[in-house]
A and B are shown apart, each in its own frame.
Chain A
Amino acid sequence: GEDVEQSLFLSVREGDSSVINCTYTDSSSTYLYWYKQEPGAGLQLLTYIFSNMDMKQDQRLTVLLNKKDKHLSLRIADTQTGDSAIYFCAESRRFGAGTRLTVKP
């Protein structure tokens, strides 16, 4: 069946770049999304990319989309402790399991 997969954990030092990767199987989605979940809260949309784009930059966030390989990544530049959260990759109604990003001072 259709699936969205991402690694479960990532740990980086404050000031480094973080890269969270995601693979998906359904190529029919118009948009692909990244959501952020902070402890005890719901999910908030972080950014999204239209399926016919290769890259989207939004301040410290860069989304890369490789449609051929069905691979999506989220890069956070100059990662801060406030970026510690769970990040979900999603296409339409399907979500990955979430990557828990830990930022060490």
Chain B
Amino acid sequence: NAGVTQTPKFQVLKTGQSMTLQCAQDMNHNSMYWYRQDPGMGLRLIYYSASEGTTDKGEVPNGYNVSRSTTEDFPLRLLSAAPSQTSVYFCASSYTQGKQYFGPGTRLTVT
């Protein structure tokens, strides 16, 4: 099992550009999550999905969008990148309320 994979590992965007961060898991987990990690603020939940076809907003959803059309994939879209979205993004998956398995992260810089 590859576990949770994320691409790309690094990305630099200009303000106003859009892009999609990819996340995939091969553990047949029903729940998937997107977090951002900023210094001194821990992980903050952006969006999560309890099952295929459902998504819910987390603590900081503004400027992002997600979809869950398959069990395996949970892409995160940045609609119009802003410098405030410079962060490290982590995708995770789990069974319902279970321990989460994290991907290696995507380091995003918006200039």
Interface residues of A in 66-105 (CB under 8 A from B): 88, 90, 92-98
**Closest Cβ–Cβ distance, residue B104 to chain A (whole Å):** 5
Contact among B41, B97, B102 with A92 in the assembled complex (CB-CB below 8 Å): B97
B residues contacting the other copy or chain, number (CB 8 A): 22
Q: Are A45 and B99 in contact (CB under 8 A)?
A: yes
Whether a CB of chain A sits under 8 angstroms from the CB of B105 is yes
Q: Are B97 and A42 in contact (CB under 8 A)?
A: no
Chain B hits for A93, CB < 8 A: 33, 45, 48, 58
Q: Are B99 and A33 in contact (CB under 8 A)?
A: yes
Interface residues of B in 5-48 (CB under 8 A from A): 33, 35, 40-45, 48
Chain B hits for A95, CB < 8 A: 35, 42-44
**Total cross-chain contacts (CB, 8 A):** 47
CA distance A1 to B15 in the complex (A): 32
Q: Are B99 and A43 in contact (CB under 8 A)?
A: no
Q: Are A97 and B40 in contact (CB under 8 A)?
A: yes
Q: Are B102 and A44 in contact (CB under 8 A)?
A: yes
Q: Are A88 and B104 in contact (CB under 8 A)?
A: no
Q: Are A88 and B99 in contact (CB under 8 A)?
A: no
CA distance A8 to B104 in the complex (A): 22
A residues contacting the other copy or chain, number (CB 8 A): 22
Closest chain B residue to A8 by CB distance? B40
Whether a CB of chain A sits under 8 angstroms from the CB of B103 is yes
Q: Are A43 and B40 in contact (CB under 8 A)?
A: no
Residues of A within 8 A of B (CB): 4, 8, 29-31, 33, 35, 41-45, 48, 88, 90, 92-98
Beyond A42-B4, A45-B101, A48-B99, 8 additional contacts (C-beta under 8 Å) are A8-B40, A35-B102, A43-B90, A90-B100, A95-B42, A95-B43, A95-B44, A96-B42
